[in-house]
Structure 1
Amino acid sequence: MSRSPRSGRAGKERVKTARRRSASSTRWLQRQLNDPYVKKAKAEGYRSRAAYKLIELDDRFEFLKGAKGVVDLGIAPGGWAQVVRQRAPKAGVVGIDLLETDPIDGVTILQMDFMDDAAPKLLKDALGGEADVVLSDMAANTVGHKQTDHLRTMGLIEAGLEFATEILAPGGTYVAKVLAGGADNNLVAQMRRHFASVKHAKPPASRKGSSEWYVVAQGFKGHRDGTGEA
């Protein structure tokens, strides 16, 4: 017979360690049960607590205001796309993820690896025009080796940046998840060649113990020639 979570001090939920559940899994479950953002997401109909990260970033930088085309890289489970649909209801929205994502009204979802050579063209064709915002909440699979994990993450951000410079309309925004310390100097310099403003931010919904930050590049300078180079 399974046991329900017990209430601990200060009204917090405590999870009893099950025979087949590791201690780390128990800690994760307990953290989820006591996370106000998780509870708020369930109450407000968002698919994940990550929705509030985008809400908080947009409250600060206002990149979704008036957006007509948005691409969501790493869309699963769909919390960010839900926010986009609420804040830019007239925007065309296309998302991609290797994981299966349940349908979202008004959003075209491609289930494939963004790093697949065919992905950028399929995303462009699905959107049918320029984007005002490219969002990337993609995360590389970690191996526990700090330098390797950093390089994998930077690779995703750089691939997302290259795609953003091909599809963004002048004045557009690229938002990407990075690890603690933010994007490295070379990548920031590359972003500054293409965007008027590049800033790092850690929204309140991002857990304090998490290494994630976000880089927000705004004011895309546009294409200077037919090669897609700005």
Structure 2
Amino acid sequence: MNRGFSTFRTLQRKITSNTLKSKQKNASSNEWLSRQLSDPYVEKAKQMNYRCRSAFKLVEINNKYQFLKPGQVVIDVGAAPGSWSQVIANKINSNGQDQNAPKGIAVAIDKQQIYPIDGVTIFGNMDFTKPENQEKITHFLEGKRANAVVSDMAPSASGIRHLDNDIIIELCYNVLRFAVKVSEQNASILVKLWQCGETKQLENDIARFYKNVKLVKPDSSRSDSAEIFLLGMDFKGLKEN
């Protein structure tokens, strides 16, 4: 009798726990949907045919600092679904829309598949952090140097803040190491991270290679989000022995 009652209570707790998780998930989904519906950048992205609202973060940053220009070579890391690549293709004229301006080269890479974008060479289903995939990009460029390496890359949040911060910081360093190897002198780098204790160290490390480093929080980045961007400009170049 006691054993049966114990089994019943265990089952009851399991059902209650699953019900609470379901309610929390539904509440989170409803909150996300409500925020999407009230977000002016979501509607604006639809009107301008951008794949998601994050396009405006890059638009804002570039409008202020003007580091993307026609004719450049730009690499977009963690590019899916492709909204930053859409902006890049327009700014550097890799899509050839401006026949009076030099035509640039845009490259996008992501673990996920990216649907084709006019004027962008896509490396889909590829993990950027693997050296062999970085080598594929370098080989594709055939000796051309990058004028900018940009990254809106972020890990799937685990909910453990210090772990998530460590992962995104390591992703930023992956981008920095790659950019230093492939960039032209006076090039730029842009990485996304979450405000954390390692922010200043990353800023200092970028400053070792770039003359000007800016901490940026565009208006289109939601106010309740911890995301920030570090922009390094005027790459110093590497001294060759």
Instruction: Give the partner amino acid of 1:118.
Output: E
2:53, 2:59 → 1: CA distance? 10
Where does residue 91 of structure 2 map in the other structure? 87
1:100, 1:198 → 2: CA distance? 32
Q: Is the 8 A contact 1:72 1:96 kept in 2?
A: yes
Q: Check 1:67–1:189 CA distance in 2 against 1; reply closer, same or farther (3 A cut).
A: farther
Instruction: Give the partner amino acid of 1:88.
Output: I
Where does residue 56 of structure 1 map in the other structure? 60
2:139, 2:131 → 1: CA distance? 14
Report the TM-score when normalising by structure 1.
0.86
Larger Rg belongs to: 2
Consecutive unaligned residues in structure 2, runs of 5 or more: 1-22, 94-102
Secondary structure class of the residue paired with 2:156:
coil
1:182, 1:212 → 2: CA distance? 13
1:122 pairs with 2:136: yes
Superposed CA offset, 1:105-161 (max 9, x none): 111111201111212111112233101010011002222111111110110000100
1:149 pairs with 2:149: no
2:44, 2:86 → 1: CA distance? 15
1:107 pairs with 2:111: no
1:49, 1:215 → 2: CA distance? 19
Identity score, percent:
37
Deviates more, 1:111-120 or 1:213-222: 111-120
Where does residue 12 of structure 1 map in the other structure? none
2:221, 2:71 → 1: CA distance? 24
1:114, 1:50 → 2: CA distance? 20
Consecutive unaligned residues in structure 1, runs of 5 or more: 1-18
Q: Is the 8 A contact 1:183 1:215 kept in 2?
A: no
Superposed CA offset, 1:196-223 (max 9, x none): 0111000001000111000000000012
Secondary structure class of the residue paired with 1:22:
helix
Where does residue 7 of structure 1 map in the other structure? none
Secondary structure class of the residue paired with 1:118:
helix
Q: Is the 8 A contact 2:165 2:196 kept in 1?
A: no
1:135, 1:67 → 2: CA distance? 16
1:171, 1:87 → 2: CA distance? 18
Where does residue 165 of structure 1 map in the other structure? 180
Secondary structure class of the residue paired with 2:220:
coil
Q: Tell me how large the CA RMSD over aligned residues is.
A: 1.8
Instruction: Give the partner amino acid of 1:114.
Output: F
- CA-CA distance at 1:65 after TM superposition: 2.2
1:66, 1:104 → 2: CA distance? 17
1:37 pairs with 2:52: no
Higher helix residue share? 2
Runs of at least 4 residues off by over 6 Å: none
1:210 pairs with 2:233: no
Q: Check 1:150–1:144 CA distance in 2 against 1; reply closer, same or farther (3 A cut).
A: same
Q: Is the 8 A contact 2:45 2:51 kept in 1?
A: yes
- CA-CA distance at 1:72 after TM superposition: 0.2
